[in-house]
Amino acid sequence: MRGAWLAVAVAASGCAGREREPESVAKARELMAGAGKPSGDLALRCEPEDAEVYLDGVLQGLCSDFTGSPKGLSVGVGLHHIEVKKRGFWPYTTYYEPSGARARLTIQLRSAVAPGGGAP
C-alpha cells in the first residue's frame, strides 16, 4: 500500500517521466500571459509633410504630427486601413496590423499633375 501512495505522489508532482521546462520558457509563458492585446505606435515620415493621415477613414492629423518624435500614430488591436493624401497628389493607402512594437512608415506621395502641367 505504501508503494501505491508513493507512485501517486510522484505522478501528482509532475516528476514521472517528464523533464522540467527551461526557466527561459517559463518566463516567456509568464510574460505572454500578462501581455495585453497587441497595439502599436506607427511613426510616419511623409513627403510632403503636410499630407493628411486617415486611420480607418477618420482624419487623425497631418503626417508631421506623427514623426515619432515625441509621438507616433497610436493603433489598437486588429488590421487597420491607413491612408495619406493631399490635394494635387495621388493618395497612398496601406494596411497595418500592430505587433506591439513601434514601426516606421516612409511615404512619398506622387504628384497628380503631369510634368507638362496637364493631368496624367
Give the CB-side neighbour count of residue 64, counting CA atoms within 13 A: 6
Burial class (CB in 10 A: 0-12, 13-18, 19+), 12: exposed
**Looking at residue 7, what is its pLDDT?**
47
State pLDDT tens for residues 36-63: 565 678 899 999 999 999 999 999 999 9
Confidence of residue 10 (pLDDT cuts 50, 70, 90): very low
- In this structure, which topology does domain 40-108 adopt according to CATH? Immunoglobulin-like (2.60.40)
Place of cell 508503494: 3
For residue 120, give the 3-state DSSP assignment: coil
The overall pTM is greater than 0.85: no
State pLDDT tens for residues 68-101: 777 888 888 889 999 999 999 999 999 998 887 7
* Region(s) of the chain under CATH 2.60.40.1120: 40-108
